[in-house]
């Protein structure tokens, strides 16, 4: 009479259970493992015992995993109760701080909000704001040339030349880096006008794709 061998069927069943546990579809604590061990017991014999060695090993691993999850559950329930009792004692700030000391073993680091980036952003974007300033009317000059701001021609030429000498040491650089050291908003606007004229005169070039100014 041919002996019943369910070892392969049991192995596949255990594999499906492990996959279900890993994916979260199966709660091992709610799963009954007795049927698996009963099948092994009822179908194993001296003739097929070698085939069942792997089945029994997998079933025991599953049982051990269930015991571990049970231990963790009981431990968490105990910790929750102890923590509740601790809060009932009305601990002070130092006691609460000591309770959580050592919980984080590895320093949290996220490059976009790292101290290095925040320091750069602070120096780059946080500018001193002036609330009191006077508005001075500029003297107009009749000219055939078109300028974005109306200033005496000789002053404009001097200013734009001085601005060019100042920024050419930085080039190539990003567009906004030209105004790094300027805190006054009026000064930024004036330098922006100078920059537009230099671009128009082709003394400075601009690469849109990289947002870069160069000579």
Nearest Cα to 14, choosing from 52, 46, 68, 44? 52
Locate 9 and state its tokens.
């069927």
Band (127; pLDDT cuts 50, 70, 90): low
pLDDT at 147: 47
Structural domain spans, the chain: 7-100, 133-214
- What is the spatial distance between Cα 177 and Cα 45, in angstroms, rounded to a whole number? 82
Tally the C-alpha atoms within 13 A of residue 25's C-alpha that lie toward its C-beta: 6
- pLDDT at residue 1 above 50? no
CB 124 within 8 A of CB 180: yes
Locate 37 and state its tokens.
């061990």
Read off the pLDDT of residues 61-77 as tens digits, 9 standing for 90 and up.
888 998 888 888 777 77
Task: Decide which of 80 and 206 is more confident.
Answer: 206
CB 52 within 8 A of CB 7: yes
Nearest Cα to 86, choosing from 100, 71, 104, 75? 100
Beta bridge partners of 213: 173, 206
Query: CB-based contacts of 192: which residues, under 8 Å, 6+ apart?
Result: 179
Band (208; pLDDT cuts 50, 70, 90): confident
| Dihedral angle sign, alpha carbons of residues 107, 111, 113, 116 | positive
- What is the spatial distance between Cα 137 and Cα 81, in angstroms, rounded to a whole number? 75
- What is the spatial distance between Cα 65 and Cα 130, in angstroms, rounded to a whole number? 67
- Summary mean pLDDT of the chain: 77
pTM of the model: 0.35
Nearest Cα to 157, choosing from 187, 203, 197, 123? 197
- pLDDT at residue 110 above 50? yes
């Amino acid at each position: 009479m041919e002996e019943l061998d369910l070892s392969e069927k049991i192995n596949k069943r255990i594999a499906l259970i492990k996959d279900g546990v890993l994916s979260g579809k199966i709660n091992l604590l709610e799963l009954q493992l007795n049927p698996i061990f009963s099948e092994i017991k009822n179908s194993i014999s001296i003739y097929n015992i070698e085939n069942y060695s792997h089945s029994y090993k997998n079933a025991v691993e599953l049982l051990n995993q269930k015991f571990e999850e049970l231990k963790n559950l009981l431990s968490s329930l105990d910790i929750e109760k102890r923590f509740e009792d601790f809060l009932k004692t009305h601990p002070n700030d130092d006691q609460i701080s000591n309770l959580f000391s050592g919980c984080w073993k590895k320093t949290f680091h996220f490059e976009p909000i790292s101290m290095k980036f925040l320091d750069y952003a602070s120096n780059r974007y946080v500018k001193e704001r002036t609330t009191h300033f006077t508005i001075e009317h500029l003297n107009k000059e009749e000219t055939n040339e078109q300028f974005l701001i109306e200033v005496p021609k000789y002053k404009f030429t001097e200013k734009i030349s001085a601005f060019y000498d100042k920024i050419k040491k930085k080039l190539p650089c990003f567009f906004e880096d030209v105004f790094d050291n300027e805190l006054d908003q009026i000064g930024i606007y004036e330098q922006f006008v100078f920059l537009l004229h230099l671009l128009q005169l082709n003394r400075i070039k601009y690469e849109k794709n990289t947002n870069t100014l160069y000579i």
